[in-house]
């Protein structure tokens, strides 16, 4: 092949590569390429509802960013979508198609906010009546009762794909709620699917019996390393508690590097701290892994 033909071949390869990238960036879809051949799409929705339809009144605001599978080369797509919907929005929605599930979830959120506001109004009216009947005594709870018109609520809900290779699909759901307080509460829920079997992976699937005691030591060691603390006492000084009794909590992710445990605020740490993400590499837990388990296979990559 001459120089001209070699240059032409390289240029054609580059054009083909650019075309492939361009096609995968269109339509809001993303392909997490691996042996799994699972393609995902994203639905984003933002909704705000003011009480009584008056923009001067308090409101509820909800934001949803839902990544969900739209094709699967290994696992039945309907079952896979149902798993994502159930664990993102809840079991009442898992018989619905993804767009319908989001709409139903948002509609229910607004209805619950409206019901909470009505309950607050009724309680406020009762307190006013009592104050009118009992002169000189204010029975209102100064911390919770005001003459103002209820509170505004906020929620954000999203999921993210953490790992999607070698028959393993791991994703995390993040939910943030605020119901009128100064701070929001964030929670993280982790899920791992074995696409070859179509089943969720549990700790009992991947660990030998008695793993919890050995993992406890590794979790504490990881927390010490991440925070720079030199002792459990130092961890407690910065806002952790019950660290010596910490146990695996089933809230984990798998990657080709190791296992990641998430402990939500209030489990073993104060709400002021970020939720700890505890990473333990496979080389530290390999003796604990069940032979031929999905985790053991990832550890051997």
Instruction: Per residue of the chain (301 residues), give pLDDT as tens.
Output: 443 333 333 333 333 333 333 333 333 444 444 468 899 999 999 999 999 999 999 999 999 999 999 999 889 999 999 999 999 999 999 999 999 999 999 999 999 999 999 988 877 665 665 555 665 555 455 444 445 568 899 999 999 999 999 999 999 999 999 988 777 899 999 999 999 999 999 999 999 999 999 999 999 999 999 999 999 999 999 999 999 999 999 999 999 999 999 999 999 998 888 899 999 999 999 999 999 999 999 999 8
- From CA 229, how far away is CA 272, in angstroms rounded? 17
Q: Quick one: 50 and 131 in the same domain?
A: yes
| pLDDT attached to residue 120 | 86
127-139: per-residue pLDDT in tens? 665 555 665 555 4
Q: Quick one: 147 and 254 in the same domain?
A: no
Range of the structural domain that residue 51 is part of:
34-198
Q: Quick one: 12 and 120 in the same domain?
A: no
Q: Quick one: 23 and 161 in the same domain?
A: no
Q: Quick one: 23 and 52 in the same domain?
A: no
| pLDDT attached to residue 127 | 61
Domain end among 198, 227, 243: 198
Q: Quick one: 168 and 270 in the same domain?
A: no
Cα radius of gyration rounded to whole Å, the chain: 25
- From CA 285, how far away is CA 215, in angstroms rounded? 8
Q: Quick one: 166 and 65 in the same domain?
A: yes
Q: Quick one: 154 and 251 in the same domain?
A: no
Q: What is the CATH number of the domain that holds 242?
A: 3.90.640.20
| pLDDT attached to residue 138 | 54
DSSP 29: -
- From CA 122, how far away is CA 150, in angstroms rounded? 11
Q: Quick one: 144 and 282 in the same domain?
A: no
Structural tokens at position 186: 């964030």
Q: Quick one: 76 and 111 in the same domain?
A: yes
161-187: per-residue pLDDT in tens? 999 999 999 999 999 999 887 778 999
Q: Which alpha helices (H) appear in the chain, and where do they start and end?
A: 3-25, 77-89, 98-133, 203-206, 211-227, 232-237, 282-285, 294-299
Number of domains making up the chain? 3
| pLDDT attached to residue 248 | 96
Q: Quick one: 41 and 112 in the same domain?
A: yes
Please, what is the angle between helix 77-89 and helix 98-133, to 10°?
Answer: 20
């Amino acid at each position: 092949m001459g120089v001209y033909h070699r240059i032409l071949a390289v240029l054609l390869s580059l054009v083909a590569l650019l075309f492939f990238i361009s096609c995968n960036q269109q339509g809001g879809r993303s392909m997490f390429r691996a042996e799994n051949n699972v393609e995902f799409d994203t639905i984003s929705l933002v909704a705000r509802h003011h009480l009584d339809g008056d923009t001067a009144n308090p409101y509820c605001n909800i934001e949803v960013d839902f990544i969900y599978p739209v094709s699967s080369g290994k696992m039945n797509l309907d079952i896979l979508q149902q798993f994502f919907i159930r664990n993102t929005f809840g079991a009442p929605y898992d018989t619905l198609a993804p767009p319908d599930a989001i709409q139903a979830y948002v509609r229910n959120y607004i209805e619950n906010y409206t019901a909470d506001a009505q309950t607050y109004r009724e309680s406020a009216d009762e307190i006013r009546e009592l104050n009118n009947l009992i002169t000189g005594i204010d029975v209102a709870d100064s911390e919770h009762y005001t003459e103002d018109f209820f509170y505004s609520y906020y929620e954000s809900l999203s999921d993210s794909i953490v790992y999607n290779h070698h028959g393993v699909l791991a994703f995390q759901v993040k939910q943030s709620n605020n119901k009128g307080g100064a701070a929001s509460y964030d929670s993280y829920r982790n899920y791992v699917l074995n696409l070859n079997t179509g089943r969720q992976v549990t700790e009992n699937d991947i660990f030998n019996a008695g793993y919890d005691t050995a993992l406890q030591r590794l979790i504490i060691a990881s927390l010490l390393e991440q925070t720079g603390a030199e002792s459990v006492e130092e961890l407690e000084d910065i806002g952790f508690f019950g660290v010596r009794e910490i146990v695996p909590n089933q809230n984990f992710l798998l990657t080709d590097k190791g296992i990641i445990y998430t402990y939500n605020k209030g489990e073993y740490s104060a709400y002021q701290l970020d939720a700890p993400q505890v990473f333990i590499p496979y080389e530290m837990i390999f003796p604990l892994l069940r032979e031929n388990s999905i985790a053991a296979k990832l550890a051997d990559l």
